[in-house]
Structure 1
């Protein structure tokens, strides 16, 4: 059953955080002062929850209720731990297939990627707590419900997740144009985790450096890049092709 995806009001959000609700993002009114606002801001920082300051008009568009200067998006799904994803993958037959999303910010791209991940047998998707696209009603809709079927883990730092995966004998393949290696030259038959970067910036340099492989797609036209969800689909299906 899908949980409510929004709560509003300073005190209500404080209670939600203290109750360990899966909060993806909090919108705070620019310039709003007061003890409750200060308490909420401190609580969000300590729990590393995404928050953004917006004009009151934005909050009014988000909800018609009395928001008191704060609106929070609650995830409609439960998240997993990275350790849980790896353990579950190790229990099944065949090599593991994971997907890491480095600062992907568009919820519809996220939903499309989740849908493809479900279709290609991905064992889990790993995102960073701060800066990643939230799981919203739009994400669920675009994923065609796959968000309820593919386990998703949130981590503090994606680079630490990469080191954990590598220690678990899982190779890291980064999708990037900053390489001479084609996707068709990289082995996908072992246990791997594919890294896809942000729509505008690509993959963080430190994550590229930590990767076992870098691979690019051949682009034969004049446009220099594919939509990230499309590129992700190509990478996942190359893994499927090599494993069949």
Structure 2
């Protein structure tokens, strides 16, 4: 997906929430012809108050726009979510070494997560944990499409997301700005509980099947793992993200 693409919100609650917020642009709302009910009425009223156009369309149009997902008779087309430049985003979060030390930001770096639903779920956890910004690769990364936005429960526009074609270089840049970079690796001996999160940190997550790419892992300051008592070999990447981010957020709460 390019930075200029539109995305789609699917379902009554995500669309209604988006209409009630100011930080997400909506180009139009599409309702199934003949749709009724209190939530449909609330969506119509919110769209009218906001000045968002409403179209009444056949079921086939909604199936097409939602790519076969359960749409509940409601689909909204959002304005583009603009990916940021890494330097721009970092400067807005904390522009200098001293500012980074004072604010102790928490960043998330995602290395090649290709499932949009996992991407969206990770973003939802990132927003909930108070993550200041997210950095993703320009290639081999899930798009920020309708499935991702729905999996994020509409939270994706609430956090700045930057893209880079060279994650190892970005991690070096973060360290130069005084961030300590923790990489999540299932085979790492150090458990995440023992890490020092009371400082500016960047948490790096790898792909669903392969984990961190070797150059990305090498660029981290330290690798940590999620200890598991049971016989499972690994966790879903979005579950691991939630554990890591909320552990990292504890000193900031």
**TM-score, normalisation: structure 1:** 0.68
Secondary structure of the residue that 1:172 maps to in structure 2? strand
Displacement of 1:90 in angstroms is 1.0
Which residue is 2:6 aligned to? 4
Structure 1 residue 62 displacement after superposition: 7.8
The count of aligned residue pairs is 179
Tell me the equivalent position of 1:214: 223
The equivalent position to 2:201 in structure 1, one of 184, 192, 198, is: 192
Match of 1:111 among 80, 103, 120: 120
Matches within 5 A, 1:1-244: 4-5=6-7, 76-90=80-94, 94-244=103-253
Q: CA deviation at 1:242?
A: 3.0
Q: Secondary structure at the match of 1:242?
A: helix
State the alpha-carbon separation in 2 of the partners of residues 218 and 194 from structure 1: 17
Q: What is the CA–CA distance in structure 2 between the aligned matches of 1:76 and 1:234, rounded to whole Å?
A: 30
Contact 2:106 2:249 in 1 (8 A): no
**TM-score for the superposition, normalised by structure 2:** 0.66
Q: For residues 179 and 219 of structure 1, what CA distance do their matches in structure 2 show?
A: 12
Deviation at 1:4? 3.2
- After superposing on structure 2, the runs of 4+ consecutive aligned residues of structure 1 that deviate more than 2 Å are 2-6, 91-94
Unaligned ranges ≥5, structure 1: 7-60, 64-73
2-structure distance, mates of 1:221, 1:76: 43
- Measured against aligned partners, the alpha-carbon deviations of 1:182-231 in whole angstroms (never above 9, x if no partner) come to 10111111111100000000001121111111111111111110110000
Moved more, 202-211 or 230-239: 202-211
Distance 1:75 1:130, change over 3 A: farther
